[in-house]
Copies of this chain bind each other. A is one copy, B any other.
């Protein structure tokens, strides 16, 4: 399973970065292969200062070795060995009318000290963070997510949509990071889904990513914008930073387990603003977005 899934994310990284470069037309991904001292490594691909993408990363990694102490505590297990691989991506477009997107698909195995596999699971998801609300875009993104889910289990979309809203909640701001999408974790073999069925589901979601996001990019990337639109985008990017540094388990995990810092923090936006006590005017486009973030809706 681990080879199969790692092959999958390698190919998916190529597919996604090729497509994004073709759309951007100006910038290319810079590739940084890296090695983890304790075992494994990754292939980070970052794009900067593009015509469409101001900053973004599409990274894969496969790491293994002894489970770090902090992860033992986190998982509530004794000493163990692990294998983890996944693809993580974040794209920060330049145009404030094009949403930021994040996606991640990962696979985890745990072994006892005799090398016997004792646990395995998939996790991941994809979610959208717009700066202005276009209902059509949000409905499109969620529809693609739902179609991918519906091929597998009827309750997946509503369950994983709900978990996404819960996970990407910026508790100290009392608002969602974005308009959600899918989030799933600890997807283990059970009565209705064996690991092969989970693999089929997770790769279905991975395969749906470009369909979910690219039509929105193509539709909005040429929209004219003002400095005020751009300021708002940069202020909202501040909330993205707050979520990733204060609440995101994946980020904190990486920072505390000696992950490759630059690959983890590629998720942070290129230009960001913090204004004191900034509140958009009642009834403004900016305020309409906030209302939706404060109370996540069902879109499909």
With A245-B246, A262-B277 given, can you name 6 additional A-B contacts, CB distance below 8 Å? Answer: A55-B274, A55-B276, A57-B276, A238-B272, A242-B265, A271-B273
State the CA gap A95–B246 with chains docked (Å).
29
**A276 contacts across to B, CB distance below 8 A:** 30, 46, 48, 55, 57, 262, 266
CB distance from A293 to the nearest CB of B (A): 15
Does A241 reach chain B (CB closer than 8 Å)?
yes
Determine the residue in chain B with the shortest Cβ distance to A256.
Answer: B172
Interfacial chain B residues near A273, Cβ < 8 Å: 270-272
> Are B274 and A269 in contact, CB atoms less than 8 angstroms apart?
yes
Whether B172 lies near A275 (C-beta < 8 A) is no
Q: Is A214 an interface residue (CB 8 A)?
A: no
| A binding-site residues for B, Cβ under 8 Å | 30, 32, 46, 48, 55, 57, 172-173, 234, 238, 241-242, 245-246, 252, 255-256, 261-262, 265-266, 268-277
Q: Which residue of B lies closest to A243 (CB)?
A: B245
Is the Cβ of A238 less than 8 Å from the Cβ of B275? no
Question: Do the beta carbons of A275 and B270 come within 8 Å of each other?
Answer: yes
A191 to B246, CA, bound (A): 40
Q: Which residues of B contact A252 (CB under 8 A)?
A: 246
Contacts of A261 in B (CB 8 A): 172-173
Taking a contact as CB atoms under 8 Å apart, the answer to whether A277 and B245 are in contact is no
Report whether B172 and A238 are in contact in the complex, using a CB–CB cutoff of 8 Å: no
Q: A273-B271, A276-B46 are in contact. Are A245 and B255 (CB under 8 A)?
A: no
| Cα(A272)–Cα(B273), bound, Å | 6
Q: Nearest residue in B to A273 (C-beta to C-beta)?
A: B271
Question: Which residues of chain B have C-beta atoms less than 8 A from A255's C-beta?
Answer: 172, 246
CA distance A275 to B271 in the complex (A): 9
CB neighbours of A266 from chain B (8 A) = 276
Give the distance in Å from the alpha carbon of A265 to the alpha carbon of B238 in the complex: 11
C-alpha gap A102/B57 in the complex (Å) = 33
Q: Separation in Å of the A55 CB from the closest CB of chain B?
A: 7
Question: Hey, which chain B residues are within 8 Å of A238, CB to CB?
Answer: 268, 272
A268 touching B262 in the complex, CB below 8 Å, given contacts A172-B255, A246-B252, A246-B255? no
**What would be 22 A-B contacts, judged by CB atoms less than 8 Å apart?**
A48-B275, A48-B276, A55-B274, A57-B276, A172-B256, A172-B261, A234-B271, A238-B268, A238-B272, A241-B241, A241-B245, A242-B265, A245-B245, A246-B252, A246-B255, A262-B276, A266-B276, A270-B273, A270-B274, A272-B272, A272-B273, A272-B274
